[in-house]
Structure 1
Amino acid sequence: MKFYLQFFLSLFWLTLLTSCGNGNTGGVLTVAAASNTQFALEEITQAFTAQTGISCHLVTSSSGKLTAQISEGAPYDILVSADMKYPMQLYREGLTIGRPATYAYGKLVLWTTQQGIEPALGTLGRTEIRYIALANPKTAPYGAAAMEVLQSRNLEVALKDKFVFGESVGQVNQFISSGSAQIGFTAMSVVTSPRFRDSGRWVALDTASYQPIAQGVVVIRKKDSEQEEAKLFRDFLFTDQAKGILGKYGYASHE
């Protein structure tokens, strides 16, 4: 039974990467990225490819889910996480090249696309707000930060019946933008992106009400490979060019 499970997992990841291929003659990196980084990384990978000729394919999900996939053998080249916890977990498992590094600090916002609803913690208990979206705090760092904010205001118990959990920030964005949830917690990088910056209203939450969201990057170790191209991408995240892009999306720079 274990053999068949491993076989089908291997087949799944092979199919995933094959479907991403675009026939480039140069190198192709598969970047496992936390959902909050999607829009910033789309711009960063374009700049990286223009500079190096190395193509990048993004696979986005929650940091916890991506980490579990890497532990199971998913052939990703690099993890761009929403926190340092999961890259450190992979480092301790011996699955990385070098220690993780913090490339930026994320910011949490409260966002609504519904007219007549004020994006404020004080409005969450109102009857017109039936559903509050947040990422799963067990696997998504922005979900954990949202729960910290609610707990700091003693709102967790009072509002728990309204919570709708997404597996990642990406799914939370779908809940909020579609109106399935009247309001929710997401990343500033989402509401400042070209896709969503004209949708609804948002407010940045007090950074003192949640632990700093130190976002980490680490190169995944592969057999018989020096991972030079992945190292180049990791290093590119710390260049002034990448920092400028991250700043556009609301990330605080890590010096």
Structure 2
Amino acid sequence: MVKHIQKSIALFFLIVFISGCNKKQDSQITIAVAANMQFAIKEISKVFTEKTGIVCDIIIGSSGKLTAQIKEGAPYDILMSADMKYPENLYNEGFTTNPPKIYAHGKLILWSTTKAINPDIQTLLQPEIKHIAIANPTTAPYGKAAISTLKHQKVYDQIKDKLVYGESIAQTNQFIISGAAQVGFTSASIVHTTQMKNKGSWISIPENTYTPISQGVVIIKKKERSHKTLQFYDFLFSHSSQEILKNFGYIVTQK
């Protein structure tokens, strides 16, 4: 009799535990986010969770690496890329439920946290500038944009040996913040954060020197389509979300 009661109690708690886990999973979505969005997405997901109760598990990385992970079966619900190339690739190969849609346009800047350095393209040619940080142009769209700018300004050949490559914009920012690189190309979003707003100096890179950084989003195809994923997707284009993006230096076209 005692053993029967003990088994019943154990079974009860097991059911409660499993139910709790399932409930937690049901109220959570996983979003793969390009590194340039790491600050803005925190604010967007915070407001979204406050409105809906749905928790966002944020995975940060370069657009190329996140795309590779999705193809390998990573359980992401949404990809927010730093360009349209990777979302279009996933869509064309049947990994998404929808064609990619632009949620924002990124801005490239040249930033330095080193005293006495005034960021400028011509400054990069100076012999005292030993290291210039950019994101890996193979997997990070902002890195690709930086290379385009350097070639457009006809200084790439002179400074290519000074370039140090971050795996993503997040690592590139660390190179600049730590001083490991005296100057670097990055997303304007970093200098709009509370922590970095008044740190160092920066200039916007003319938009006609690089291909527009159109950042796309797609919903990843899964066996069961979650309405919670659709809720976040729709929220991303809401006035609230678009205002947050604008505050972080992105260009948005939605009203």
| Fold match by TM threshold 0.5 | yes
Shift of 1:141: 0.3
**Paired position in structure 1 for 2:151:** 151
> Aligned equivalents of 2:139 and 2:248: distance in 1?
23
1:230 equivalent to 2:229? Answer: yes
Letter in 2 for 1:31: I
**Paired position in structure 2 for 1:111:** 111
**Paired position in structure 2 for 1:16:** none
**Paired position in structure 1 for 2:82:** 82
Query: 1:164 is paired with a residue of what secondary structure?
Result: strand
> Aligned equivalents of 1:190 and 1:38: distance in 2?
9
Query: 1:181 is paired with a residue of what secondary structure?
Result: coil
Shift of 1:126: 0.8
**Paired position in structure 2 for 1:246:** 245
Letter in 1 for 2:131: Y
**Paired position in structure 2 for 1:64:** 64
> Aligned equivalents of 2:62 and 2:149: distance in 1?
19
User: Once the two structures are aligned, what percentage of the paired residues are identical?
Assistant: 49
Letter in 2 for 1:131: H
Letter in 2 for 1:40: A
- Deviation string, structure 1 residues 68-95 (Cα, Å, up to 9, x no partner): 0101111111000000100011101101
Contact 1:26 1:55 in 2 (8 A): no
Instruction: Note the residue ranges of structure 2 that are not aligned, 5 or more in a row.
Output: 1-20
> Aligned equivalents of 1:196 and 1:87: distance in 2?
30
**Paired position in structure 2 for 1:142:** 142
Contact 1:119 1:203 in 2 (8 A): yes
Letter in 1 for 2:41: L
Structure of greater Rg: 2
Shift of 1:227: 2.4
**Paired position in structure 1 for 2:13:** none
> Aligned equivalents of 1:84 and 1:232: distance in 2?
21
Shift of 1:234: 1.0
Letter in 1 for 2:177: S
Runs of 4+ in 1 over 3 A off after TM superposition: 23-26
TM-score, reference length from structure 2: 0.89
- Deviation string, structure 1 residues 5-62 (Cα, Å, up to 9, x no partner): xxxxxxxxxxxxxxxx9x8475111110000001000000000001111000111110
- Deviation string, structure 1 residues 161-193 (Cα, Å, up to 9, x no partner): 100001100000000000000000000011111
Letter in 2 for 1:204: S
The verdict on how the C-alpha distance between 1:253 and 1:42 changes in structure 2, with shifts beyond 3 A counting, is: same
**Paired position in structure 2 for 1:31:** 31
CA RMSD of aligned residues (A): 1.3
> Aligned equivalents of 1:76 and 1:195: distance in 2?
29
TM-score, reference length from structure 1: 0.89
Instruction: Note the residue ranges of structure 1 that are not aligned, 5 or more in a row.
Output: 1-20
> Aligned equivalents of 1:252 and 1:80: distance in 2?
15
